[in-house]
Structure 1
């Protein structure tokens, strides 16, 4: 993919995290959750949480990138503060019942550091945190909770995960939405179609429209807005505003 000249590797190093600011409207902290992290816990995959995955010494960001992130968020004058990154930030339990099955490739495999980041967002009163996530090839919308195991805990921000444009074909997931919604009360939307997320940002609100196709295996599929969600400035949490538009 195209990269700026500043991103050309120097030896074994390739600096990919960076910050993009749009006046006082929005600041995008573009993270690298691949290069600096500890290896996935529990040999990767979807597994129950363990001492390894909850170990406070484990990192997905690396210490230098985390300091850079915190420093930028503290200094930000933007209304919306965005973490754009590659893997699930919110907790995602894939199994019904008391035993959780969590993706070790995402922040669930580094849950102590995720809790630290969420606590930082709260205590520093970071304005309107938004997490934008890719790489999961399906569509998800989450409230970010101060305690994902307590649905009544404080809502700190919002996460919007977008699908792939074509990878996986017409449908990509064998997940069961009913189980996902039951086990993850902070989950507000799941869909396994192809498409993209269109975000409209104003000083008053952030709106994410999930634009989806019924099929990508042949030309001609109409595109529709399957669901839309709004976050209001100063009011953490997601509100669904329309569907089947």
Structure 2
């Protein structure tokens, strides 16, 4: 298939060489972390659309050889503490960064991972159609089941995540808005994740064993609707009937 063509590159030959060179330089100068931002999800994500699992091609799945070369450079040069940051998909994804089929990986402990990927959802654009349960929840559970490195997936809420970086750890706090159909100051904490320096994987239990929405591997999802008013700092159980603005005829 065209996605397996070794000549395919997402970055172009010149930028790809620059990327690998600077990954190595960052290790040589003793950088605590490598924060690698790109528009699309780097991790291999399979989808099951009812007729078997497939690899969507509008992300790094369409550039398998380029991804292989990137992972090969990280593993062969023992470059750890990698945090990949992505978006584009209008959904939330949190994964250990692994080289499936080439390096052993234990998703119960995270052993074998070379980093972590945090991919955020959209602020206002649509995500999974249908209600949070069963539609969005069913889709998230299927994705986590199909992808051993995928630790959390969530497609209902619009929102953002906050990344806190210190020499000892990286923390990501994901937030969702209960509605983008009206102006409001409400945020729902969805899940929190930690990566300790030198560990190269999400801290276990992932997200402390609990998330507000979606599907969490080896953890529990509980819909509490506990919401923070970011203007007043007060917490409240808030329910909104409409997530999105109604479509105009």
Q: TM-score, normalised on structure 2?
A: 0.71
Q: Which of 46, 51, 54 is 2:4 aligned to?
A: 54
Match of 1:203 in 2: 167
Pick the structure with more strand per residue: 1
Q: Are the equivalent residues in 1 in contact too, given 2:34–2:81 (CA < 8 A)?
A: yes
Gap regions ≥5 residues in structure 2: 130-135, 213-225, 227-249
Q: Are the equivalent residues in 2 in contact too, given 1:131–1:160 (CA < 8 A)?
A: yes
| Aligned residue pair count | 192
- Measure, in 2, the Cα distance between the counterparts of 1:148 and 1:97: 25
Any residues of structure 2 matched to 1:136-215 within 5 Å, and which? 136-147=89-100, 151-152=105-106, 154-168=112-126, 172-174=127-129, 176-192=139-155, 193-215=157-179
RMSD over aligned CA atoms reads: 2.2
- Measure, in 1, the Cα distance between the counterparts of 2:140 and 2:101: 18
Q: Are the equivalent residues in 1 in contact too, given 2:80–2:114 (CA < 8 A)?
A: no
Q: Are the equivalent residues in 2 in contact too, given 1:148–1:186 (CA < 8 A)?
A: no
Secondary structure in 2 aligned to 1:181? helix
Pick the structure with more helix per residue: 2
Match of 2:222 in 1: none
Q: TM-score, normalised on structure 1?
A: 0.72
Secondary structure in 2 aligned to 1:236? coil
Any residues of structure 2 matched to 1:12-31 within 5 Å, and which? none
Gap regions ≥5 residues in structure 1: 1-50
Match of 1:135 in 2: 88
Provide Cα deviations, 1:133-160, integer angstroms capped at 9, x if missing partner.
Answer: 0111111101111216975482111110
- Measure, in 2, the Cα distance between the counterparts of 1:162 and 1:219: 21
- Measure, in 1, the Cα distance between the counterparts of 2:70 and 2:58: 17
